[in-house]
Amino acid sequence: MKEGISIVICTYNGASRLPTTLQHLARQRVPEGINWEVLVVDNASTDASAQVARDEWNRHSKGNGAFSVVYQPVPGLSSAREMGFARSSYDFIIMCDDDNWLCDTYVATAFQIMKSNPSIGMLGGKGEFVYEEEPPAWLKVHSMYAGGPQAPQSGKVKENKLYGAGSVLRKSAYTLVYSSGFRSLLSDRMAAQLTSGGDHELCYALALAGYDIWYDERLVFKHFIAKDRLSWEYYIRYIRESASCFELLEPYKILLKHNSADWLSFYGGLTQSFFYHVKRFVPAWYHHTIKADDSPEQKRLREVRYVSLRIRLQSYFSGFPAIRRNFVHVEQLKRQFHAQARPGSKEVGGELVQSIR
């Protein structure tokens, strides 16, 4: 595996968002001797995203880093990222969304952290929101976007999950899980659809394979939030369309928490998770249904809690057959991961990279 770092930007109709994102990448202060590149994956865009990306990079890069654009006709963020990982040249891959503005030391810092810690499978940073217009108060409290600290302090993330924006992937780790049978079952965002969860799915798979999921507060980026993503209707739609990811992610969480694939652990873990959400739902239901003396903003805040928890509880019942099937699938993946090379082994990489090209 070649030493260096690739920045993969997956975009769907991102012609208006890409210029500022690429300007920040062109300002990266990367020391001599660190190989790096920018790879834009045009995910079935119907606008001029690809040409805008080329023009902006030529305008601002001043020869910094290699640059290329590839086209992925299969819609969905997971499909776009998979192509980006396959086409990338280096072992460390920054997953930069087309609305992420990385600080000028991001690439260099990410490279040094990943190089110094070979057990890290995925490394996350800290997003800071930049809103196109002032968001409603309820959205600041219950944000659904990738931003904020991902752990109390830099280091290993206990929950084994990161948001994908700004995350850094070890390609040899991805190659290991991919060659062992892992395929993302979540399409993630797809055109106008708001499904999500692919970033957590990948983190959980890497953790099952024995890699660490890590956070470092020095990796700071701005996350631009367009005004059309600030409405109540958009938020509720996001919650509803993303609910399906629970059926796949919950089995990963149970297996990682209990480190056992027997059915007692499955039912015990699922029951524990269910009653945790019941405990949170009861007061949310009370304030939403009975209490009526709140201000309009407080009512909206309480409605957010109520709707999200209600949808989650419904998923335990409607999604139970799928949760049970997926638990078997995830347990099989774990056994296949551990039949392959362990983290840090020289066997990881090499000819296995060819399997995802």
**CATH number, domain containing residue 18:** 3.90.550.10
Total H helices, total E strands in the chain = 12, 9
Looking at the structure, tell me whether residues 10 and 159 fall in a common domain: yes
The answer to the question of residue 356 being in a domain is no
CA-CA distance, 320 to 334, in Å (whole number)?
Answer: 21
The answer to the question of residue 348 being in a domain is no
Looking at the structure, tell me whether residues 142 and 272 fall in a common domain: no
Looking at the structure, tell me whether residues 220 and 288 fall in a common domain: no
In the DSSP assignment, the letter for residue 153 is S
CA-CA distance, 307 to 315, in Å (whole number)?
Answer: 12
The answer to the question of residue 352 being in a domain is no
CA-CA distance, 53 to 290, in Å (whole number)?
Answer: 52
- Final residue belonging to a domain, choices 219, 244, 269: 244
Q: Please write the tens of the pLDDT for every residue from 28-55.
A: 999 999 999 999 999 999 999 999 999 9
Question: How confident is the model at residue 355, as a pLDDT?
Answer: 36
Looking at the structure, tell me whether residues 164 and 216 fall in a common domain: yes
The answer to the question of residue 175 being in a domain is yes
Question: How confident is the model at residue 188, as a pLDDT?
Answer: 52
The answer to the question of residue 343 being in a domain is no
Question: How confident is the model at residue 196, as a pLDDT?
Answer: 61
- CB under 8 A, 24+ apart: contacts of 133-137: 133/227, 133/230, 135/225, 135/230, 136/230, 136/232, 136/297, 136/300, 137/297, 137/300, 137/301
Looking at the structure, tell me whether residues 118 and 25 fall in a common domain: yes
Looking at the structure, tell me whether residues 181 and 318 fall in a common domain: no
Structural domains of the chain, count: 2
Looking at the structure, tell me whether residues 107 and 195 fall in a common domain: yes
Question: How confident is the model at residue 77, as a pLDDT?
Answer: 86
Looking at the structure, tell me whether residues 298 and 315 fall in a common domain: yes
- Final residue belonging to a domain, choices 183, 213, 244: 244
C-alpha distances in angstroms, 338 versus 91, 172, 181, 207, 350? Answer: 21, 15, 12, 11, 18
The answer to the question of residue 145 being in a domain is yes
Domain that holds residue 299: 250-338
- Final residue belonging to a domain, choices 244, 271, 291: 244
Question: How confident is the model at residue 234, as a pLDDT?
Answer: 84
Looking at the structure, tell me whether residues 80 and 145 fall in a common domain: yes
The answer to the question of residue 355 being in a domain is no
The answer to the question of residue 347 being in a domain is no
First CA to last CA distance, the chain? 14
Kindly give the parts of the chain with pLDDT less than 50: 191, 194, 345-357
Question: How confident is the model at residue 152, as a pLDDT?
Answer: 92
Looking at the structure, tell me whether residues 138 and 105 fall in a common domain: yes
Looking at the structure, tell me whether residues 226 and 261 fall in a common domain: no
Looking at the structure, tell me whether residues 141 and 180 fall in a common domain: yes
CA-CA distance, 288 to 271, in Å (whole number)?
Answer: 25
Question: How confident is the model at residue 357, as a pLDDT?
Answer: 37
